[in-house]
Amino acid sequence: MSDQKKVIVALDKPTADLALSLAKTLDPALCRVKVGKELFTSAGPVIVEALQKNGFDVFLDLKFHDIPNTVASAVRVAANLGVWMVDVHAVGGERMMAAAYDAAHSGTSRAPLLIAVTVLTSMEQSELADVGVTHPIDKQVELLATLAKKSGCDGVVCSPLEASMLNTTLPGFIKVTPGIRLAGDDASDQRRVMTPVKAVEGGADYLVIGRSVTGAPDPVATLKQISLDLQKL
Ligand code: C5P
């Protein structure tokens, strides 16, 4: 059965206090939370522990990309923190992802879900070409997702535009999709975007939502409405 708690709220805040006061307004029965680079750099592992004490599953979104030994060591620390999900960049390659998988499963606590970032949702075709990737975006996502699966990862981060394609080519592989915007929202730096309902209809398993919830006039009501809309599917 698919997980009914599909929304992961990105707590992209500069301090632990701001992140915790936002999290305390959210219901851990309705969402999970994501700690990314800004918050983790500012607040460190204690913010993960504080969120867990408040009942939240935590996605530690540090997108590790380094040599296999370094990534494995970082993933081992994340696993020992008890995070629910952790991610690496798939372009780090098979050996790096396989080492991350072994590290995720080496601890005594429950292994976190290991997710590989394919092509950032902020990137468009011309920017991929700038970094030497000439495949169409969906082919690049498929290539990296196939490699991630072969390496032992549990799933990928992709845009909602590629989720249905991956449902066909890699059924059962978890698809986490940022690039979520409510109708009428500003896409800002994101490029490959979709609404929550359309993303789940297209095959996304989890939706990472930042500014559309945290920047809304009433984040709590916005999250409730998204949850209600998704329950109707
Ligand atoms: O505010 P917004 O909804 O655009 O935030 C998206 C969040 O998802 C940010 O925290 C960003 O770092 C993260 N993310 C992303 N693209 C990925 C992986 C994570 O936008 N490929």
Q: Model confidence over 17-58: pLDDT tens digits?
A: 999 999 999 999 999 999 999 999 999 999 999 999 999 999
Taking the centre of ligand 1 as the mean of its atom positions, its distance from the CA of residue 178, in whole angstroms, is 5
Phi/psi-derived region of residue 12, left when phi > 0, alpha when psi is between -120 and 50, beta in every other case? beta
To the question of pTM greater than 0.85 for the whole model, the response is: yes
Q: Is 63 a catalytic residue?
A: yes
Taking the centre of ligand 1 as the mean of its atom positions, its distance from the CA of residue 118, in whole angstroms, is 13
**Residue 121 — pLDDT band, cuts 50, 70, 90?**
very high
Measured by CA distance, the residue closest to atom 19 of ligand 1 is 178
Work out which ligand 1 atom sits closest to the CA atom of 215. 1
65-75 mean pLDDT: 98
- Least trusted range by pLDDT, from 57-66, 100-109, 114-123: 100-109
Residue 133 has pLDDT above 90, yes or no: yes
Domain boundaries, the chain: 7-231
Residue 1 has pLDDT above 60, yes or no: no
Residue 216 has pLDDT above 80, yes or no: yes
Dihedral angle at the C-alpha atoms of 210, 214, 216, 218, nearest 10 degrees?
140
Assigned fold of 7-231? TIM Barrel (3.20.20)
Phi/psi-derived region of residue 49, left when phi > 0, alpha when psi is between -120 and 50, beta in every other case? alpha
Of the candidates 44, 50, 80, the one whose C-alpha atom is nearest the C-alpha of residue 62 is 44
Work out which ligand 1 atom sits closest to the CA atom of 159. 21
Phi/psi-derived region of residue 55, left when phi > 0, alpha when psi is between -120 and 50, beta in every other case? left
